[in-house]
Structure formats: structure tokens, C-alpha cells
Chains A and B, each alone.
Chain A
Amino acid sequence: DTAVSQTPKYLVTQMGNDKSIKCEQNLGHDTMYWYKQDSKKFLKIMFSYNNKELIINETVPNRFSPKSPDKAHLNLHINSLELGDSAVYFCASSQRVLAGVNEQFFGPGTRLTVL
């Protein structure tokens, strides 16, 4: 199936731990994103990579570090997890940005719970 996939789907961990979430897309897209959906269901951009290059870095604590080994993968590593990091993290991808295009396709999400 052509899609955006994320692993794991659920992640439960203790405060202070380090964890990673993986994302892969087989749509042939150049641009990938990480979004965070908080407890009030509000979605906000965190990072965006275009062809392995970081192009968007919103105001996110530097405990969050994205890594793109190739344009089909964008992983998110989180150090020293805090209670406030509990959320659903969505990966997305789109074709290279062209004026008026840029339809984004989302993965199923990773629900992170920090205890």
C-alpha cells in the first residue's frame, strides 16, 4: 500500500527516558513533516524536511531532534521525556512545494504517554 507509516502506534514510557518515533513514506514525496496534536486536539507543526534538509523548525524544545536519513524517512528522537510531551505525533509528507499545490498526506499517528 502506498502511504505514510509510523512506528510505534503507541508508546508508554517514564519521565526522563529517551525515545524515538519512526516515519516512512513510499509516495515519492520530497517533503516530510512532524506535527503534534495536544490533549485539546489542536494540531501544530513542529518540523519540516525537504530532501533531507531542515526547512521548518518551530519553537520546539531542543530535546526534540528530527533526523532524515533519506527523503523517504523522517524520524523524531526525544530526549529526557517530560509529562507535557504526552500527545499524538503525526508524520506527513507532500510533493516538492509548488505554488498552490502541496497536498499533505498524514500517517496514522503515534500516541505518546509519559508517566
Chain B
Amino acid sequence: KQEVTQIPAALSVPEGENLVLNCSFTDSAIYNLQWFRQDPGKGLTSLLLIQSSQREQTSGRLNASLDKSSGRSTLYIAASQPGDSATYLCAVTPGGGNKLTFGTGTQLKVEL
């Protein structure tokens, strides 16, 4: 059974800092990994999707990497801003399937 863990559970940083969020999964037989952000009381916004054959994806100040063999992904946020404050979730799609298994989330607060 796939289990997805995110560390840290919560993070508070000053504005402008570069930061890394971690995601680990127990079964490396995945099709892809997706990073989302969730604002309080809102739905999920897809940030990046990394296919199993890829090593990283970039979108603006966000960079996500994937090391499938070790069961790890990181989300790097450059020059953090207060608007980045949200909960960040990673989720994996198993090989041959299409359901997402979600991680436990990292609650990020970027302070002025």
C-alpha cells in the first residue's frame, strides 16, 4: 500500500527566503507525481506534474524534482513571498492506475 509523507508538517519563513519542501513515497512504481497548493477554505490548485520518466519540472519560482528510485520529490520555492502562504500537497499516481494518493501536506507561512 502506497504511503506518502511530507516533511516538515509546518514551516514559517521570512519573506525572500528560498525553501524546500519534501515528499517521500514508499512504492516507487509510480506513473507521475503532482504538487498542489491549497489555500484555506479553497480547492486544490495544480502547480507541477512530473512524469515518472522526468527528473524535474519548473514553473516560475517553483522547481520540483523527482528521484523515483529513492521515493523522493522536493519542491523548491525561490524568493518566497507572503502570497506563497498555503498548504502544499504532493500526490502520486500508481503504475497502471489513475487515483492520486496524497501526502500529509506542509503548511507554509511566509512572513513579512
Contacts and interface: CB of A to CB of B under 8 A. Distances in A.
Interface of A: 31, 33, 35, 41-45, 48, 50, 55-56, 58, 90, 92, 94, 97, 99-109, 111
A35 B98 CA distance: 13
B64 to A, nearest CB: 13
Residue of B42, B43, B46 with most partner-chain A CB within 10 A: B43
Interface of B is mostly: strand
Given A41-B105, A42-B102, A45-B100, 11 more contacts: A43-B89, A45-B101, A48-B98, A90-B43, A90-B44, A99-B31, A100-B51, A104-B34, A106-B45, A107-B43, A109-B43
Question: What class of interface size applies to chain B in its complex with A?
Answer: 20 to 34
A40 to B, nearest CB: 9
9 contacts: A33-B99, A43-B100, A43-B102, A56-B98, A58-B99, A90-B43, A90-B44, A103-B49, A107-B43
Contact of A97 (B36, B98, B102): B98
B32 interface: yes
A90 B34 CA distance: 16
B89 A94 contact: no
Nearest to B49: A103
Contact of B53 (A45, A97, A100, A102): A100
Interface of A is mostly: strand
A64 B96 CA distance: 26
Given A42-B104, A43-B89, A100-B53, A105 B46 contact: yes
A90 B29 CA distance: 26
B93 interface: yes
Nearest to B51: A100
Interface of B: 31-32, 34, 36, 41-46, 49, 51-53, 87, 89, 91, 93, 97-102, 104-105
